[in-house]
Amino acid sequence: MAFSLSSYPVVYRGKYGSKGWKGGYIEKPHRSPQEEAALKPKEREALAESRNLYDDMPLVNYSTQYGLSCFEGLKALPQKDGGLAIFRPDRNAARFYKSMEGLYMPPFPEETFVKACVETVKRNAMLGFKPEYKTAWEKDSYMTADSVYIRPFSYAEGGIGVNICHEPWVIVINTPVSAYFTAGNSDAVVTSRIRATPGGTGWIKAASNYTMAALAKHEALEKGFMECVFLDATDHRYVEEGSSCNIFFYLKSGELVTPALGDTILPGITRSSIIELARDRKVKVSERKISIEEALEETKECFVSGTAAGATPIESLSYRKKKAVFNKGKTGEFTADIRDTLKGIQYGALPDTKGWLLRVL
């Protein structure tokens, strides 16, 4: 299981109006987790579908018609001591605020964002909807570990005709999630498609950005690759991102390179966390342009990062008729160290000396 539409029962819904933001919690139809697991597949699907329906919200609006929406993705992770904690929700709150500002929507208050994430996770956990920590996860560096995926998103008021959103909703749902990438294949390919253009919305976590990502990822999967990689829109030469993740190149010189932030690169929370961990290790980290030629010729290890991806190794990268295999197709020592440290902190197996975890339970 990667992402699942079987969302947990408790959701948060807020609405902007003449008196600012107002919101509350809704408990959707549910049984106990054990009873739901025992349902027949069709009954389980019907119950999941009922949680995904909101009959008092407009179908025709600026989100459904024009993709005018933004969202976030963060996780609540079961802790080794039996608790539950969210990884860096304040950073997601700040990015969501900026995304809504960038789309000319009334921005959602950061404190309310964090509270809504904490409360939905806590209320669902109290109903029994939460994963339990398993020591078996430690054997594969938590690559198959379960967690709660938290998805906050905006939804526009009713309207038709190209326009901006003045009175959005913000909804926060929780769903179960495990490994994002399929095990056994970590090959990537450079796509000819363009994810973002200068002056566009590439820096915003906008729903519309992911149309191109979905198409390119689908094409990569059909060709037998795990992931696709985008180049820049201007020169078609410099590496930018994966389909839904930032990318890192650990060069033979010992330098760790990731594309510099700009209006075409999403400022990933996992990305910034990895940069901090690398600098703790006295590794030279450069946020700069990196050409596809340099990436293919000078890279020792490569990995992608994101809320879903964590720090996932890339064993090879193909571009036109060239193919570079990194570290003989095996996870490199540096990549493994960063991945294991990040996951260890997130799941409470390593001390959180940076204050990245916000405890829920």
Task: Give the pLDDT of residue 185.
Answer: 83
Q: How far is CA 312 from CA 181, 213, 325, in A?
A: 8, 18, 15
User: Quick one: pLDDT at residue 3?
Assistant: 66
CA–CA gap between residue 47 and residue 7 (Å, rounded): 10
- Eight-state DSSP code of residue 106: P
pLDDT of 358 strictly over 70? yes
- Percent pLDDT > 90 in the chain is 94
* Chain segment 55-113, per-residue pLDDT in tens: 999 999 999 999 999 999 999 999 999 999 999 999 999 999 999 999 999 999 999 99
In this prediction, residue 6 carries a pLDDT of 84
Mean predicted lDDT score pLDDT of the chain:
96
Q: Are 44 and 36 in contact (CB under 8 A)?
A: yes
Write the DSSP symbol of residue 81: T
pLDDT digits (tens, 9 = 90+) for 242-291: 998 999 999 999 999 999 999 999 999 999 999 999 999 999 999 999 99
| Domains, the chain, with CATH or none | 10-177 (3.30.470.10), 187-330 (3.20.10.10)
Instruction: List the single range of 8-17, 180-189, 197-206 with lowest mean pLDDT.
Output: 180-189
Query: What mean pLDDT do residues 214-229 have?
Result: 97
The crossing angle, in degrees rounded to 10, of helices 333-346 and 269-280 is 120
List phi, psi (to 5°) of 173: -115, 160
In whole angstroms, give the CA distance from residue 58 to residue 54.
Answer: 9
Is 70 exceeded by the pLDDT of residue 1? no
pTM beyond cutoff 0.85: yes
What pLDDT, on a 0 to 100 scale, did the predictor assign at position 5? 75
Residue 101 β-bridge partners: none
Question: Angle between the 110-126 and 89-102 helix axes, to the nearest 10 degrees?
Answer: 130
Q: Does the CA dihedral 55-59-64-69 come out positive or negative?
A: negative
Residues 2-31: what's their mean pLDDT?
A: 93
pLDDT at 180: 67
Q: What is the predicted pLDDT for the residue at 178?
A: 84
**What b/e sequence results for 96-114 when a residue is b if at least 16 CB atoms lie within 10 Å of its CB, and e otherwise?**
bebbbebbebbbbbbebbb
Q: According to the model, what pLDDT value does residue 2 have? A: 66
pLDDT of residue 181: 65
